Amino acid sequence: MAKQTVYDLNKDALNDTLKSLGQPAFRTTQILDGLYSKLYQDFNHFANIPSSLRASLAEMFVIDPLHVEDTIVSKDRLTEKVLFTLGDGLQVESVLMRYSERNSLCISTQVGCPMGCVFCATGQMGYMRNLSPGEIVGQVIWAMRKLRAEDSTLTNVVYMGMGEPFLNFEGTLASIANLTNPDMLNFGSRRITVSTVGIIPKIAMFAREHPQVNLAISLHSPEDLLRSELVPANRIYPLKSLIQASRDYVERTHRRITFEYALIQDVNDSPELALKLAGLLTGMLCHVNLIALNPSKEYAVQGSSKDRVLTFQSVLEEHGIPVTVRLRRGIEIHAGCGQLARSRQPE
């Protein structure tokens, strides 16, 4: 079996491990500094710890749980998709997006996804397994190393890659804990966004655990019949309960919630549906992100035309719903939302 990554451990677990190896308490600080500030890739780089301890740690753990198999860079060089091979040979992807003011990394939480949304390339590949906390954190560490080499820094992390974060709830929460712990990566909670298809029972739990982390919910339709067709999870977690859970979330956290809506030409992009959506969200502290669908191999429809996107947007605006149209980044390298599995499937 593949060795566990040391990034799986939270601070207490690392403490306990070092204690069991007969080490003084300050070793934890040294190791965390090497892992999360210096971004060392090898236990031999920890010059300040005894070589016998380095050897023991190397016997128990790997540092890097991910092997970079391939990276594809967009023509403008701003978007980069990386394909990682995990310890057991399975693969996941992350996407690094460079903007003028920020650098954002889109990370995966599962190999594949069991939710089967019809338009999603990850959904189309089925579900293999959850990522461990360290496999999630490792994607962030990869981006930090990469950007540091460019004299830049990572400013945002979005859990919008492969998989449904709330079906890997423990792994997601544990990874966020390591990312945000001031003694570990010390990454700001408000710079992290988790996107869910709407696993209702987990929404309140998430609000309790990480009220400062941003929440996005993938809506894609304001009508149950259509949403159930596009997003099968809606059959278990229908809109009325999902919207109620969203309102409860806002009440508890006082944080704005984001609703993702992928516009599919002539499917969910009519002005009537925009009006319905406005009605559903009225009075809620929220924001709608519209994105024209990236067509995927097994769902032969088109993203909405620019006109349809703009009309949809203006109906929402007229009804006082804050809305942004998202650019489709990295389309030519199949690094758009929900396209992450695509390049490895035969064309």
Which residues are catalytically annotated? 93, 337
Q: Tell me which amino acid residue 41 is.
A: Q
**What SS3 state is found at 127?**
strand
Q: With CB cut-offs between 5 and 8 Å by kind, which of ligand SF4, ligand SAH, none does residue 31 bind?
A: none
Rounded distance between C-alpha atoms, residue 214 and residue 125, angstroms: 27
Question: Are 131 and 85 contacting, i.e. CB atoms less than 8 angstroms apart?
Answer: no
> For the window 105-124, what string marks contact with ligand SAH as x by the rule CB under 6 A?
------------x-xx----
Spell out a b/e string for 67-91, using b for 16 or more CB atoms within 10 Å of the CB, else e.
eeeebbebeeeebbbbbbebbeeeb
Spell out a b/e string for 115-153, using b for 16 or more CB atoms within 10 Å of the CB, else e.
bebbbbbbbbbebbebbbbbbbbbbbbbbbebbeeeeee
Which residues contact residue 26 at a Cβ distance below 8 angstroms, ignoring those fewer than 6 apart?
Answer: none
Q: Is 246 in the site for ligand SF4 (CB under 6 A)?
A: no
Residues 149-178 that bind ligand SAH (CB under 6 A): 160, 164
Binding piece for ligand SF4, criterion CB under 6 A, among 49-57, 75-83, 86-94, 119-127: 119-127
**Which of 8, 80, 135, 260 is close enough to bind ligand SAH by CB under 6 A?**
260
Rounded distance between C-alpha atoms, residue 223 and residue 241, angstroms: 13
* Minimum CB–partner distance for residue 38 and ligand SF4 (Å): 33
- 52 burial (CB, 10 Å; 0-12 / 13-18 / 19+) is exposed
* Minimum CB–partner distance for residue 237 and ligand SF4 (Å): 11
Binding piece for ligand SF4, criterion CB under 6 A, among 29-37, 90-98, 116-124, 148-156: 116-124
β pairing state of 79-85 and 91-98: antiparallel
Rounded distance between C-alpha atoms, residue 299 and residue 107, angstroms: 23
* Minimum CB–partner distance for residue 195 and ligand SF4 (Å): 7
**Which of 294, 315, 321, 335 is close enough to bind ligand SAH by CB under 6 A?**
294
Rounded distance between C-alpha atoms, residue 44 and residue 65, angstroms: 17
Residues 153-172 that bind ligand SF4 (CB under 6 A): 163-164
Binding piece for ligand SAH, criterion CB under 6 A, among 36-44, 95-103, 179-187, 293-301: 293-301
Q: With CB cut-offs between 5 and 8 Å by kind, which of ligand SAH, ligand SF4, none does residue 18 bind?
A: none
Residues 182-241 that bind ligand SAH (CB under 6 A): 195-197, 218
Q: With CB cut-offs between 5 and 8 Å by kind, which of ligand SF4, ligand SAH, none does residue 93 bind?
A: none
Residues 197-236 that bind ligand SF4 (CB under 6 A): 197, 218
Q: With CB cut-offs between 5 and 8 Å by kind, which of ligand SAH, ligand SF4, none does residue 260 bind?
A: ligand SAH
Sign of the CA dihedral with 122 first, then 123, 126, and 129 last: positive
**What SS3 state is found at 122?**
helix
Rounded distance between C-alpha atoms, residue 192 and residue 156, angstroms: 6
Q: With CB cut-offs between 5 and 8 Å by kind, which of ligand SAH, ligand SF4, none does residue 160 bind?
A: ligand SAH
Q: With CB cut-offs between 5 and 8 Å by kind, which of ligand SAH, ligand SF4, none does residue 215 bind?
A: none
Residues that bind ligand SF4 (CB under 6 A): 113, 115-117, 120, 122-123, 163-164, 197, 218, 338
The residues that touch ligand SAH, with contacts defined as CB under 6 A, are 117, 119-120, 160, 164, 195-197, 218, 260, 262, 291, 293-294, 296, 337-339
